[in-house]
């Protein structure tokens, strides 16, 4: 890495931890994502940054839609592992969780989830190793009250790691 970039400075940025899911021709898949944020308020748009090698990325490009499950603070590390450390090309993640199928075959994981958001892809931007999907939010539901898991607590409290495809994988080296 460029010596003038101190990864500890980037580690001060705040994020949540989410499952981003999609469905295409009856195949469901999803992955853990922290690189997700709301961009605008009227209309409401969000952005999600997905690694080019991920199966979820391939399916979101094909389906043009994605859902976001906002994970709660008490979500077990093992559950995060299903969506964040395994690839849906070799393993059916949706056999390991509870989910609802929303309009147009879009799955939404409901386990350990405080809220569900559904978005339609507006644009896709190439960002070196990743693709940035900007989506317009069409639905948002509150599933239960609680505290959302922050990315900082994922690392500090749960002692979780970031896999290679996470934009923040570099942080593993500074801990």
Ligand X SMILES: Cc1cc2nc3c(=O)[nH]c(=O)nc-3n(C[C@H](O)[C@H](O)[C@H](O)COP(=O)(O)O)c2cc1C
Among 22, 28, 47, 55, binds ligand X (CB under 6 A): 55
The site for ligand X, by CB under 6 A, has a size of 26
Question: Which residues inside 76-105 make contact with ligand X, applying CB under 6 A?
Answer: 80, 84-88
Which residue from 99, 83, 81 is spatially nearest to 143, judged by alpha carbons?
Answer: 99
Dihedral of the CA atoms 31, 117, 22, 134 (nearest 10)? -90
Q: Which is nearer to ligand X, 35 or 108 (CB)?
A: 35
Site string for ligand X, 131-160 (x = CB under 6 A): -----------------------x-----x
**124 part of the interface to ligand X, by CB under 6 A:** no
Q: Which is nearer to ligand X, 146 or 163 (CB)?
A: 163
Rounded to the nearest whole angstrom, what is the least distance from the CB of residue 132 to ligand X in the complex? 10
**31 part of the interface to ligand X, by CB under 6 A:** yes
Q: What is the H or E stretch that residue 10 is in? A: helix 7-10
Q: Which is nearer to ligand X, 18 or 118 (CB)?
A: 18
Task: Give all strands of the β-sheet with 44-51 in edge-to-edge order.
Answer: 27-33, 18-24, 65-71, 113-127, 130-142, 44-51, 36-41
Please tell me the distance from the alpha carbon of residue 88 to that of residue 82, in angstroms, as a whole number: 9
Please tell me the distance from the alpha carbon of residue 172 to that of residue 96, in angstroms, as a whole number: 27
| Binding-site ranges for ligand X (CB under 6 A) | 17, 29, 31-35, 49-51, 54-56, 80, 84-88, 154, 160, 162-163, 165-167
């Amino acid at each position: 890495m460029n010596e003038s970039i101190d990864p500890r400075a980037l580690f001060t940025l705040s994020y949540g931890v989410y499952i981003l899911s999609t469905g295409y021709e009856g195949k469901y898949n999803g992955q853990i994502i922290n690189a997700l944020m709301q961009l605008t308020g009227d209309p409401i748009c969000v952005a999600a940054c997905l690694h080019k090698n991920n199966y979820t990325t391939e399916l979101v490009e094909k389906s043009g839609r994605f859902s976001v499950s906002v994970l709660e603070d008490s979500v077990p590390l093992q559950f995060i592992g299903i969506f964040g450390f395994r690839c849906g090309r070799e393993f059916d993640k949706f056999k390991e969780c509870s989910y609802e199928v929303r309009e147009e075959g879009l799955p939404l994981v409901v386990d350990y989830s405080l809220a569900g958001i559904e978005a339609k892809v507006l644009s896709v931007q190439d960002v070196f190793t990743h693709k940035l999907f900007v989506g317009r939010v069409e639905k948002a539901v509150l599933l239960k009250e609680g505290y959302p898991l922050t990315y900082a607590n994922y690392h500090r409290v749960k002692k979780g790691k970031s896999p290679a495809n996470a934009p923040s994988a570099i942080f593993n080296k500074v801990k």
